[in-house]
Chains A and B, each alone.
Chain A
């Protein structure tokens, strides 16, 4: 097994430019199980990002109210951060529900995003916050909206020579939020459904609601049709159901069923919308 351990971000990206088959390795909590299962093996090569932790685990509130999070910030760090707890409760709730203490100590936000699992718990909250990613390569840095990042099942628009270096999270206006993770037990469980939602207090603003969910289609899903339905106040059960069905395409797998995912998501969202 080949492992390259760069000392700086610059060294990392210049190496990647020449060695595009090297797989970025952050906390390793997604990669290690793949190695154990044999999906990855000693034939693969890795670039270990752990020396870049200092450079890339910042959590900074900018003057414009946006929150910048370094890709190597651990989930534990998100859980313990006061700004997040106070101003970004959806992120805080998503983070604290990930894995176990041991996993949260290692797992990074960048890994959660880059792994591109439809069940990744942080992503719906980040989508509701209209977040964007900073991708860095040898000579260039680009920004992309998170909602455009996922292409198909476990495929993203990241180029093999790019690293995710930061996430820009926009604040929400005053309003109500909902986070629900439905797993098959209370702790250490992967999501059967994970949902983050926001409805503005002032419904007349230009962006009055956002909904996003995980594990309900092949990529993390922003529920645009549902949002439109809500904005147009078409919120009867059948209207919501029809809108939702255009947003999601859940499957039967070892964790849950298509019917369960659809029905429960609908019920949870309806309850949230109707809440007074």
Chain B
């Protein structure tokens, strides 16, 4: 047992600390050209013509328009509606119109500045409310891409009959990923094979996009992810588009082409977190029991639908938060606006929902004259609770226990009462303590994992080492370390004998995208099973031998190298109906409780988080330092979302697209964070592990909002809580 406690150091630490890891922009190839994207200067319109001034035509300028696309002019996704390059219709400022490449980057700047575009302007809707009001019709009859619904019991009837009803609207804004490494790709041809190297989370999504857009077989496509410097979901869908751009340029030029987005371009034109508008009508019985809910979740998909359906699906599945309610109707709508397509971002639709429900429940507690804890105790999910899809949460649900631990260890109740006394006496500063409970469904939604059918495994190499085979990306979260750790434990050999194989989509098995908190959970399990299988095979070939190296040596001398690939098998007892949204939406749910202790000075109205307590159930914790790292980082990203990040769109254009003006918290802004893991084990997942990556994002906004409610007596219904906003609301309230 003691050996298990040993800290596993990150396997990528050395090369990153020494600057040896190669990011895509570190790669130079002989004869390489640089590619740039010609973007739409307007938010909505019709492109009539684009031409290059005569003087540039001769100078080896590579120029690509939609006419050069050999396959279908669309980027494959859940809905493949985003064009690779504009044919006629322009739906957002920055939409790609054409591509240019040249060996001289400054020359490209000159060309970009002097291109002649003939565009007919059309009036736009850049805000989701305008789109909902059909100020202009952008798509379909009503600007709605898609509707989804979940239903349980009879919400209408019980809302009417409830003792107390509360109706609120919540809004959340865009959020920019701000990964350290901006998006980048290199494309080149070699022996008739298209090679794509770049920063990405999902190499096989890129393969699919190239297949469809270029009309070539995946046997002639090799995608090789380079060291990826952060992603947070931002490199789930967007890299498909950039890879297509690099591929088109390299195919036309016959030379390698590198495309790296500048920071300003990256912030302005790549995907963002979906803005949301969430309406909730909640009905309660007298003693505080939640009896009915009518919820509408509207997400701003941006100009094209792309993968937004699955984001919406996660939003509505998390719309009730951690509350059990017998009568629920949840409607989801995806609305089109003339802004860049929204995309994947850590939490994937859940943070919006969690902020709304956790703020609302807290606000209601004060209206019902209950304390914020009691209303939760009555309504939270417990073992055997039934979620809105009819899924039984099972016995592993330890939320009540987590809540108790958190309350006791943080002395929440005492502090809550002390703050009330403090606030009644103090005029210069106010104190608040706020709680949020949250969860996150692990892995792909519903039948997603079944459809993905991931494959992963390992090779016993001739020299006795183990090469792990999977196509998930270590983008900084540490999954390579965790996979080695899982294999090392299953095979009972030292981690030094195991390494992760370089990913090349021509040879590496497709283990699906690196998203949805699924890597440890799903791929870790495949690696675990492959390791166990290898162990059995070696055991069989030399039953009396104990030493792994000797066993492996014997096997190799007799049979040569051995590769084992495990195929994902969906647990038979889990089923989900994509039409009715009934069934097991997720195999397991990770749980969390955040408690924020804040102070607000009444001169600057800045929120000072004095302490942040964070409790989690992620099943078995496989690597504690890495898990804590994910949590602290996730909390900071959540705090950023709640208090700092404010992407300013003006007429569909980002105004603060720089590190100077898009404010994220720094290490200096990090409060004292106490992290605690609950003891629990999941039935699904290696060694009883559950998902972790996205969970920490779901808690902070509501916890801070609820602390603000106590401190200032103000109910906020949107983020971010900028001091400017707090001041104005405070002045209005105290006039």
User: Which residues does A use to contact B, with CB under 8 Å?
Assistant: 33, 37, 42, 182, 184-190, 254-257, 259-260, 263-264, 267-268, 271
Kindly report which residue of chain A lies nearest to residue B601, judged by CB atoms.
Answer: A267
The 8 closest A-B pairs by CB, nearest first: A187-B668, A267-B603, A260-B724, A186-B668, A187-B666, A257-B724, A254-B656, A184-B663
> Are the C-beta atoms of B661 and A254 separated by less than 8 Å?
yes
Answer yes or no: B605 CB below 8 A from chain A CBs. yes
A-B residue pairs in contact (CB < 8 Å), sample of 14: A42-B106, A182-B606, A184-B663, A185-B644, A185-B663, A185-B665, A187-B669, A188-B666, A254-B661, A255-B661, A259-B731, A264-B727, A267-B602, A267-B603
Max chain B Cβ within 10 angstroms of own Cβ: one of A187, A256, A260: A260
| Alpha-carbon separation in the docked complex, A267 to B731 (Å) | 13
Q: Which residues of B contact A189 (CB under 8 A)?
A: 663
Q: Most chain-A CB neighbours within 10 Å: which of B663, B667, B722?
A: B663
A254 cross-chain contacts in B, Cβ below 8 A:
648, 655-656, 661
CB of B610, distance to nearest CB on chain A (Å): 14
Chain A: minimal CB distance from B12 (Å): 25
- Cα distance A271–B602 when bound, in Å? 11
Q: Chain B interface: which size bin?
A: 20 to 34
Does B424 touch A at the CB level, under 8 Å?
no
Interface check B45, CB cutoff 8 A: no
The 0/1 profile, CB within 8 Å of A marked 1, for residues 696-730 of chain B is 00000000000000000000000000111001100
Mostly helix, strand, loop or mixed at chain A's interface? loop
Complex Cα spacing A267 to B603, Å: 5
Residues 189-230 (chain B) with a chain A CB within 8 angstroms: none
- The distance from the CB of B603 to the nearest CB of chain A, in whole angstroms, is 4
Q: Is B604 an interface residue (CB 8 A)?
A: yes
Task: Give the most central of A184, A259, A267: most B CB within 10 Å.
Answer: A184
Q: Does B395 contact A (CB under 8 A)?
A: no
Question: Which residue from chain A places its CB closest to the CB of B109 in the assembled complex?
Answer: A38
Contact B668 A268 (CB under 8 A): no
Interface residues of chain B: helix, strand, loop or mixed (majority): loop
B518 → chain A closest CB, angstroms: 33
Q: Which residues of A contact B666 (CB under 8 A)?
A: 185-188
Quick one: given A187-B669, A254-B648, are A264 and B604 in contact (CB under 8 Å)? yes
Q: Mark B43-79, 1 if CB is under 8 A from A, else 0.
A: 0000000000000000000000000000000000000
B557 at the interface (CB under 8 A from A): no
Q: B644 contacts A182, CB within 8 Å?
A: no
Determine the distance from Cα of A189 to Cα of B666 in the docked complex, in whole angstroms: 10
- In the bound assembly, the distance between CA atoms of A186 and B658 in angstroms comes to 18
Chain A contacts of B606 at CB under 8 A? Answer: 182
A264, B656: Cα distance in complex, Å: 23
| Complex-state Cα separation, A186 to B722, whole angstroms | 14
Q: Which residues of A contact B723 (CB under 8 A)?
A: 260, 264
Contact partner, A256, options B665, B669, B724, Cβ 8 Å: B724
Q: What's the minimum C-beta distance from B303 to chain A, rounded to whole angstroms? A: 24
- Bound-state CA distance A182–B608 (Å) is 13
Contact A187 B667 (CB under 8 A): yes
Collect the chain B residues with CB atoms within 8 Å of residue A271's CB.
603
Decide yes or no: A268 and B603 within 8 Å by CB, A33-B660, A260-B723, A263-B731 being known contacts.
yes
- Whose C-beta in chain B lies nearest to the C-beta of A260? B724
Question: What's the minimum C-beta distance from B136 to chain A, rounded to whole angstroms?
Answer: 27
Contacts of A185 in B (CB 8 A): 644, 663, 665-666, 668-669
| CB-CB contacts below 8 Å: B586-614 with A | 602-606
The residue on B at minimum CB distance from A257 is B724
- Name the CB-closest residue of A to B661: A254
Q: Are A259 and B724 in contact (CB under 8 A)?
A: yes
- Given A42-B106, A254-B648, A264-B603, A186:B724 Cβ within 8 A: no
A33 to B66 Cα, complex, angstroms: 35
B667: which A residues are within 8 A, CB to CB?
187
Which residues does chain A contribute within 8 Å of B668, judged by CB atoms?
A: 185-187
**A257 to B106 Cα, complex, angstroms:** 37
Question: Which partner residue on chain B sits nearest A266 by CB separation?
Answer: B603
Least CB distance, A66 to chain B, in whole angstroms = 34
A182 touches B660 (CB 8 A): no
- From B604, B661, B724, residue with most partner A Cβ within 10 Å: B724
Given the complex, which residues of B lie within 8 Å of A255, measured CB to CB? 661
Distance in Å from the Cβ of A140 to the closest Cβ of chain B?
A: 37
Q: How far is the CA of A255 from the CA of B655 in the complex (A)?
A: 11
A257–B669 Cα gap in the complex (Å)?
22
Q: Which residues of B contact A186 (CB under 8 A)?
A: 666, 668-669
> A182: shortest Cβ distance to chain B, in Å?
6
CB proximity to A under 8 Å, residues B637-668: 644, 648, 655-656, 658, 660-661, 663, 665-668
